[in-house]
Amino acid sequence: MSDMSRRTFGGLVGGGAVTAVAGTAGAAEAAPSAAERPFRARPSTGSGGRPNFLFILGDDLGWADLSSYGAPHIRTPNLDRLAAQGVRFTHAYAGSATCSPTRFSLYTGRYPGRTKGGLAEPIGNRTQGLDPTHPTLASQLKKAGYATALIGKWHCGWLPDYSPTKSGWDEFFGNFGGALEYFSKLGQLGDYDLYEGDATYQDLRYYTTVLTERAVDYVSRDHDRPWLLNLNFTTPHWPWIGENDEEAAAEVAARVRAGDVLGGLLHNDGGSVEKYTEMVENLDASVGKVLAALRRSGQERNTVVVFASDNGGERFSYQWPLSGGKSGLLEGGIRVPTVLRWPARLDGHQVSDEPVFSPDWTATLLELGGARPDPAYPLDGHSLAGYLLRGERVPERDLFWRVRGNRALRRGDWKYYQDASGKDHLYNLAQDQREQADLAQDRPELLAELKAAWERVAGGLLPYPAS
């Protein structure tokens, strides 16, 4: 244990990466992570030019839903291999606890509450969206000479006012809303929701398959400049539809057409652990096809690949040992599986227990791509480039979250959390990542300090509109 921090070891055990040591199920699936070592930057070996960026998001994928993170019943060999070829983060977080606020935080590098559209949790009508005048990851990389594309779920506003192509992405192919039926493409507003650019595109095949084909095509092109591809799958978000479930899909679509849009898409009368497993494994296979195409294209070595989820898991997700889930700020609602691969600059078989969250990736990619953040819109994320490339310490800072009904702030191993009743809690995540041992009464001064820090950040954000 001399070369491994106590928190790293706890993360590995909790994530199932050393299940052989723990003696639990899932050891075979976790094998790619068994030889992990704590992260160390590789000594500089020069640069092969600015990298490409492939940022892949799963949708409602829980922290332990990959076999390399401990799922004993879900096999994800492609994502496990990706993790084994790079760095697996054990304390990585989404920018919020639901879909669109996290996407705001990733696209802008700022807390969702800094923008009006980010106050929706999540966006649910045509009046809400990401202001096209706000700088984004795509718009700033585009200014720096990158080609930019977004394939898949946008969920930052609908036409005519909002669109990826209005916010810096050269190309868009995907859906505008937060959910859709996988075959009919009937979406959150009850209408058809598959677009190429700003025009509808007709394709009634399984959505994950369609997105995978588009992504394979994009990474296979003969690009004449570095590129950013945001690949946002809807899998494994409800409705619980697999690629051979046309009959169940038709039932969901019929409910949507009959006007029961939310009830149909929520699919409360469908799904199972087995169906969820099928969807996650289909996502893994799809990511594998995209990565294989990237390898065939000859661009793999100098492409930064990040895989993460937009928030914690839902009904059928495997979250152990975390508490909570999507929509809340307990660890299960915001801690997400996150892996990073960059063969040209980073060694594989590594694990990092540094706390990081979505806005950090915005700052990191901008720095790696040679793009200057707009000083009029200061980032809330901190670039990890120094940590990843030069072995610098991650800057000491607080991670902050605000959602209706919950608040949370993490400083080092300590987490301040306020539940929906307004009660304050204090947890030491190094000792209790399940958040069951409330130390609020034992450490009142620390609780007050973290609560005051949360209040200072919240005081600079936009207020929620009256509900």
The pLDDT tens digits of the residues spanning 234-268 come to 999 999 999 999 999 999 999 999 999 999 999 99
pLDDT of residue 34: 59
Determine the distance from the C-alpha atom of residue 294 to the mean position of all C-alpha atoms in its chain, rounded to a whole number. Answer: 21
Q: What percent of the chain has pLDDT over 70?
A: 92
Q: What is the DSSP letter of 157?
A: B
Q: What average pLDDT does the segment 325-334 reach?
A: 98
Q: How far apart are CA 274 and CA 269, in angstroms?
A: 15
pLDDT at 46: 64
Q: Helix or strand or coil: residue 174?
A: strand
Predicted local confidence at residue 45, as pLDDT:
67
Residue type at position 195: Y
Give the Cα separation of 430 and 36 in Å (integer): 19
Q: What Å distances lie between residue 127 and 156, 157, 162, 176, 188, CA to CA?
A: 11, 8, 9, 13, 14
pLDDT bin (cut points 50, 70, 90) of residue 48 is: confident
Task: Assign 150 a pLDDT band (cuts: 50, 70, 90).
Answer: very high
Residue with tokens 């084994």: 84
User: Would the pTM of this model clear 0.85, i.e. be above it?
Assistant: yes
pLDDT of 184 over the 60 cut: yes
Q: What is the mean pLDDT of the chain?
A: 93
> What do you get for the CA distance between the two ends of the chain, in Å?
51
Secondary structure letter of residue 465 according to DSSP = P
What percent of the chain is modeled with pLDDT above 90?
91
Q: pLDDT tier at 417 (50, 70, 90 boundaries)?
A: very high
Q: Which of 5-9, 48-52, 236-240, 406-410 has the lowest mean pLDDT?
A: 5-9
Rounded Cα–Cα distance for residues 17 and 385 (Å): 25
Nearest-angstrom CA–CA distance, 148 and 209: 21
Give which of 136, 134, 191 is closest to 158, Cα–Cα. 191
Is residue 61 within 8 A of residue 94, CB to CB? The reply is no
Q: What is the pLDDT at residue 23?
A: 29
* pLDDT confidence tier of residue 33, bands split at 50, 70 and 90: very low
CA-CA distance, 26 to 23, in Å (whole number)? 9
What band does 379 get if pLDDT is binned at 50, 70 and 90? very high
Bigger pLDDT: 178 or 467? 178
CA distances from 408 to 60, 93, 217, 423 (A): 20, 12, 41, 12
CB 382 within 8 A of CB 395: yes
In sign, the C-alpha dihedral spanning 36, 37, 38, 41 is negative
